[in-house]
């Protein structure tokens, strides 16, 4: 297949036309939130302009069309991760809510005092805090898989941690702080051999590579639309139907019931059982448009383009004196975290903003991962299909400017 035409991709992102402090925008903060192509923006406005109504309730035409649009988005998002059934795809507010849903609706009723949950040292806070809260609620213990100086998980240590009291393993597929692509199929196989269910945080994986939940062999897969060119406030949880059926409800309310009386309530079948209340309908419609857009590019071509860009960007950044890359795993995607000798990352970010360059600085909601390197913060350039090697040249020029300012 021919390579991606980045200029035609860039032309589809209206925001890339704007200037920042009088300079063309160089957006290297996709890991925080991606920009949206015209196709997604239009799908959302078209929904509001022509079909807007509540779903699953009305007999009127708009309500039927809105329901069809919402449910069609579910079908396409489910297919995008090769879920065996569209009914296994639960719409949530995002990765964070998907993880909290699993913590409270799946694990909490199955957890006894003294049981264990295993996560890794490189998790986003959204894959740490819900488990800490649950451990506190139940009297369970959180165990942590360490990683090495390159940012690669220690799988031998993981094997040792996966003892008889472990009720769930929760691991990030691609680290937002270090860029590490974890060997999640291998991790799932090792856990499965011990009968331990695995949750994967796919927030940074789904935008950058083809994800097949069946091939991975996981039990739960969580992701967010806004990291993959879709709207904020919507995301998904995938789990096999048998698991979803065996789970307690999450929140109670409308849309998640079959029958309510004061003698008792009968819940709807999954996925509706986990979608109480009016959902983010337009968000789901935009989510569907985002996966259609990515499908149109082809995830294998997206991955190939971004791998080349990551390699070129890494090489260019390494040419800056005093720059240290944090996270040097053999398998990386989407993210280059770095520090610059003698300059606080926040100063880097503030100064290069005046060159039009947007990066993230701080702990990236993964404080333990950054602390592992003895650091309070890093600067992070994260990339997308709309970035170019020329933009890395602008970043490098801006970093030279930072070095000059700091003598």
Task: Return the structure tokens found at 6.
Answer: 């980045």
Nearer to ligand PMP, 196 or 205 (CB): 205
List the one residue out of 54, 79, 77, 78 whose CA is nearest residue 67: 54
Compute the least distance from the CB of residue 7 to ligand PMP, in Å: 28
Nearer to ligand PMP, 67 or 175 (CB): 175
Interacting residue with ligand PMP among 100, 180, 224, 280 (CB under 6 A): 224
Nearer to ligand PMP, 336 or 402 (CB): 336
Compute the least distance from the CB of residue 201 to ligand PMP, in Å: 5
Q: What span, in angstroms and rounded, lies between the C-alpha atoms of 236 and 233? A: 10
Interacting residue with ligand PMP among 89, 191, 365, 399 (CB under 6 A): 365
Q: Binding to ligand PMP by residue 209, rule CB under 6 A?
A: no
Q: Binding to ligand PMP by residue 204, rule CB under 6 A?
A: yes
Nearer to ligand PMP, 95 or 361 (CB): 95
Compute the least distance from the CB of residue 382 to ligand PMP, in Å: 9
Q: Binding to ligand PMP by residue 382, rule CB under 6 A?
A: no
Compute the least distance from the CB of residue 223 to ligand PMP, in Å: 8
Q: What span, in angstroms and rounded, lies between the C-alpha atoms of 92 and 392? A: 35
Residue with tokens 């059926």: 245
Q: Binding to ligand PMP by residue 284, rule CB under 6 A?
A: no
Q: Give the binding range for ligand PMP (CB under 6 A) out of 103-111, 157-165, 196-204, 353-361.
A: 196-204
Q: Binding to ligand PMP by residue 126, rule CB under 6 A?
A: yes
Q: Binding to ligand PMP by residue 201, rule CB under 6 A?
A: yes
Q: Binding to ligand PMP by residue 361, rule CB under 6 A?
A: no
Nearer to ligand PMP, 125 or 403 (CB): 125
| Per-residue binding letters, 31-50, with ligand PMP (x by CB under 6 A) | x-------------------
Compute the least distance from the CB of residue 139 to ligand PMP, in Å: 26
Q: Binding to ligand PMP by residue 96, rule CB under 6 A?
A: yes
Q: Binding to ligand PMP by residue 88, rule CB under 6 A?
A: no
Q: Binding to ligand PMP by residue 81, rule CB under 6 A?
A: no
Interacting positions 163-182 with ligand PMP (CB under 6 A): 172, 176
Task: Return the structure tokens found at 4.
Answer: 């991606």
Nearer to ligand PMP, 222 or 343 (CB): 222
Number of shown-chain residues binding ligand PMP (CB under 6 A): 15
Nearer to ligand PMP, 191 or 333 (CB): 333
User: Is-contact 191 222, C-beta < 8 A?
Assistant: no
User: Is-contact 200 184, C-beta < 8 A?
Assistant: yes
Give the chain's length.
407
> What are the residue numbers of the active site?
365
Compute the least distance from the CB of residue 99 to ligand PMP, in Å: 8
Compute the least distance from the CB of residue 156 to ligand PMP, in Å: 24
Which phi and psi angles does 362 have, rounded to 5°?
135, -145
Nearer to ligand PMP, 228 or 394 (CB): 228
- Max Cα–Cα distance, the chain, nearest Å: 75
Site for ligand PMP, rule CB under 6 A: 31, 94-96, 124, 126, 172, 176, 201, 203-204, 224, 226, 235, 365
């Amino acid at each position: 297949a021919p390579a991606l035409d980045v200029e035609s991709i860039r032309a589809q992102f209206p925001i890339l036309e704007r200037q920042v402090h009088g300079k063309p925008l160089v957006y290297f903060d996709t890991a925080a939130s991606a920009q949206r192509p015209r196709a997604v923006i239009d799908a959302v406005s078209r929904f509001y302009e022509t079909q807007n109504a509540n779903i699953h309730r009305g007999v009127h035409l708009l309500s039927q069309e809105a329901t069809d649009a919402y449910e069609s988005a579910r079908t396409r998002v489910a297919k995008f991760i090769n879920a065996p059934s569209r009914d296994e795809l639960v719409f949530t507010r995002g990765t964070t809510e998907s993880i909290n849903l699993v913590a409270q609706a799946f694990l909490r009723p199955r957890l006894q005092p003294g049981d264990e949950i295993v996560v890794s040292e490189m998790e986003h806070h959204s894959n740490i805090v819900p488990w800490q809260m649950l451990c506190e609620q139940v009297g369970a213990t959180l165990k942590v898989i360490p990683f090495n100086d390159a940012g690669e998980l220690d799988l031998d240590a993981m094997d040792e941690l996966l003892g008889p009291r472990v009720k769930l393993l929760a691991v990030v597929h691609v680290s937002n702080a270090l860029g590490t692509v974890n060997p999640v199929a291998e991790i799932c196989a090792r856990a499965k051999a011990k009968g331990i269910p695995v949750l994967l945080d796919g927030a940074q994986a789904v935008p950058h590579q083809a994800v097949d939940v069946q091939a991975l062999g996981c039990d739960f897969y969580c992701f967010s639309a806004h990291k993959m060119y879709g709207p904020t406030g919507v995301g998904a949880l995938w789990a096999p139907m048998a698991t979803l059926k065996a789970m307690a409800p999450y929140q109670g309310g409308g849309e998640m019931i079959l029958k309510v009386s004061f003698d008792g309530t009968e819940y709807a079948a999954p996925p509706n059982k986990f979608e109480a209340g009016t959902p983010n309908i337009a968000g789901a419609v935009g989510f569907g448009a985002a996966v259609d857009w990515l499908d149109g590019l082809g995830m294998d071509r997206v991955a190939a383009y971004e791998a080349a860009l990551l390699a070129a960007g890494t090489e260019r950044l390494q040419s800056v004196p005093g720059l240290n890359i944090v996270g040097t795993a053999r398998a990386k995607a989407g993210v280059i975290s770095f520090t610059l000798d003698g300059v606080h990352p926040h100063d880097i970010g503030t100064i290069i903003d005046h060159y039009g360059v947007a990066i993230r600085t701080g702990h990236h909601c993964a404080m333990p991962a950054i602390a592992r390197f003895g650091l309070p913060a890093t600067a992070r350039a994260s990339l997308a299909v709309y970035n170019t090697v020329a933009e890395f040249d602008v970043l490098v020029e801006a970093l030279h400017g930072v070095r000059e300012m700091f003598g």
